[in-house]
Amino acid sequence: SSPVVAMAWEAENAVEAVRNTMGQTNPTTSPPGTIRGDLALDIGRNLVHGSDSPESAVRELALFFTGTELLDYSRANDRWIKE
C-alpha cells in the first residue's frame, strides 16, 4: 500500500476516456502510451484504478469524498462551444 491521489472527473464518456488512458488491467497486454503499459509492473501492482461504469463511480467516489467536497459547475464557454 502507498499514498493515494483520489480524483473525480466528469465529462461525456469519462469512463471510457479514463480507461483508455489507464490501459488494460494486465500491464503486459496494455498498449504503450497508457499508464499501465508504460509504468505498471504486474496485475497486482498496476498503479491506477478507474471505475468501470458511472454507477460504480458513484459508489467509489463516496469512499473518498463527501457530497460537499465535489462541486458541480458550468464553464462559461460551454454554451458557446459545440462539438
Active centre residues (catalytic):
49
H helical segments located in 1-83: 14-22, 35-39, 54-64
User: Coil, strand or helix: which one is 58?
Assistant: helix
Q: How many CB atoms lie within 10 A of CB 27?
A: 20
Taking the C-alpha atoms of residue 75 and residue 73, their distance in angstroms, rounded to an integer, is 7
